């Protein structure tokens, strides 16, 4: 009996051992599971019309500015304006004590009357002698003296007129008037101050703020590139009128009124290599004050083949360079180095690195890397909506940058 039990156990062990290799062989022969290809959302890059703009920093300056200074000396009796108020041209600002100048005017007036009275007498005598000399009733010498006296009297009258005019002008100068219309600044004198006609300190300043200038600078190299792009047909002029301009204020808000480029300087600054551009803007509410820092957005032209892509499809590498993943025609993911301009809404203007027809990956970026296979899938509604809105955004006054080959890079707002 023990032998039978041992034989039965041995048989069981042999059966189990024989079954193990068979089980292992069966596992190795099982087919491997198919490798899944990740799906990514893509947006097809399309060429579209983009307004090519240049964003340049600058500062505002008054359309007109006049420093008010006295033209005669005297004591200030009154200040007749409120600091910071708007004044009209010819409006009285200060009153200088006129007493001395009034006396001088009266004296000049009296001298003129005396000269005119003397002229009347001398003139009558010269007329009588002119008739008498014809009949030899008076000597030629007496007639010559009478004529000389008449001419001297005429000169005295003319001198008296000039003296009277000078006295009247100086009397008028006692009333210091606004030379231009505009907003007046702080007064540097008060009633009782002594003024001199040669003083260097201005009494106050009047500035015309509507319209107002915006002075910006642009590199001469950028101007040349823009000119060549227009000549070569890479850019098309926005219109026959003057170059339009918009303003971005220091708080990044947009100024509501549109301006235009007035002129560009004819000289390049030797130190900076820049050219000064001056734009003019309406300023009816005086929102713009002289000296404010602004950014002027100049509409240089129109790029018929511009590219804009959703911001979610553009990333930055460790060096800060813009990159994007593109799904190639062979189904493999490619890494592209981009040069982007400024943002237009929720999109980037692409200057280089992409071309029309590229499939930009905007969703599923974390599931793929360069060189792997991927499958295109329709992105969510956000990405196509952004792509469809790009043309409308570009046509607005929001700044858009030109391609690198077509126009100078605009400063980012």
Question: pLDDT digit string (tens) for 311-361?
Answer: 888 999 888 889 999 998 888 899 999 988 777 778 888 888 898 889 999
In tens, the pLDDT along 168-226 reads 999 999 999 999 999 999 999 999 999 999 888 999 999 999 999 999 888 777 767 66
- Residues 407 and 53: their CA atoms lie apart, in Å, by 9
- Residues 354 and 166: their CA atoms lie apart, in Å, by 77
Structure tokens given for 23: 């089980």
Global pTM reads: 0.61
Query: CA geometry: angle at 387 spanning 383 and 391, to 5°?
Result: 160
Query: CA geometry: angle at 122 spanning 119 and 128, to 5°?
Result: 135
pLDDT of residue 198: 83
pLDDT of residue 390: 42
Q: Which domains does the chain have, with CATH numbers?
A: 47-61+208-395 (2.40.30.170), 71-96+177-199 (2.40.50.100), 98-173 (1.10.287.470)
Contact at 8 Å (CB) between 331 and 375? yes
Whose tokens are 């890479």? That residue is 234
CA proximity to 364, closest of 354, 351, 377: 377
Confidence grade of residue 115 (pLDDT, cut at 50, 70, 90): very high
Query: What length does the chain have?
Result: 413
Mean pLDDT of the chain: 80
Cis preceding linkage at 176, omega within 30 = no
CA proximity to 302, closest of 24, 45, 49: 49
Q: What three-state secondary structure class fits 39? A: strand
Burial of 316 (0-12, 13-18, 19+ CB in 10 A): exposed
């Amino acid at each position: 009996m023990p032998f039978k039990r041992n034989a039965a156990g041995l048989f069981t062990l042999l059966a189990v051992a024989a079954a193990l290799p068979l089980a292992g062989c069966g596992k190795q022969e099982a087919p491997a599971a198919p490798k899944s290809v990740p799906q990514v959302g893509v947006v097809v890059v399309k060429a579209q019309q983009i307004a090519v703009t240049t964003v340049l920093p600058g500062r505002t300056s008054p359309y007109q500015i006049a420093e008010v200074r006295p033209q005669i000396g005297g004591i200030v009796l009154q200040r007749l304006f409120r600091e910071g108020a708007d004044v009209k041209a010819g409006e009285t600002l200060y009153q200088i004590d006129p007493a001395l100048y009034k006396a001088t005017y009266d004296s000049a007036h009296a001298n003129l009357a005396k000269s005119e009275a003397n002229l009347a007498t001398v003139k009558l005598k010269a007329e009588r002698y002119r008739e008498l000399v014809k009949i030899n009733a008076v000597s030629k010498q007496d007639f010559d003296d009478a004529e000389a006296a008449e001419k001297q009297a005429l000169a005295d009258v003319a001198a008296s007129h000039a003296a009277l005019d000078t006295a009247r002008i100086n009397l008028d100068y006692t009333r210091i008037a606004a030379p231009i219309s505009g907003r007046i600044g702080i007064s540097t004198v008060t009633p009782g101050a002594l003024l001199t006609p040669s003083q260097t300190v201005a009494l106050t300043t009047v500035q015309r703020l509507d319209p107002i200038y915006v002075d910006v600078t642009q590199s001469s190299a950028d101007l040349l590139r823009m000119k060549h792009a227009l000549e070569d047909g890479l850019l098309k002029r926005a219109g026959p009128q003057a170059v339009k301009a918009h303003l971005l204020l220091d708080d990044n808000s947009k100024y509501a009124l549109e301006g235009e480029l007035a002129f560009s300087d004819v000289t390049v600054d030797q130190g900076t290599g820049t050219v000064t551009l001056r734009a003019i803007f309406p300023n009816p509410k005086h929102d713009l004050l002289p000296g404010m820092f602004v950014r002027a957005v100049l509409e240089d032209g129109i790029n018929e083949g511009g590219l804009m892509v959703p911001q979610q499809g553009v990333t930055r590498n460790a060096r800060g360079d813009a990159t994007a993943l593109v799904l190639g025609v062979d189904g493999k993911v490619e890494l592209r180095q981009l040069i982007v301009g400024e943002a237009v809404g929720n999109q980037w203007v692409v200057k280089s690195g992409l071309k029309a027809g590229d499939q930009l990956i905007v969703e599923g970026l974390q599931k793929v890397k360069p060189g792997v296979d991927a499958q295109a899938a329709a992105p969510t509604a956000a990405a196509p909506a952004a792509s469809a809105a790009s043309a409308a955004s570009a046509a607005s006054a929001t700044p858009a940058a030109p391609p690198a080959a077509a126009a100078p890079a605009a400063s980012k707002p």
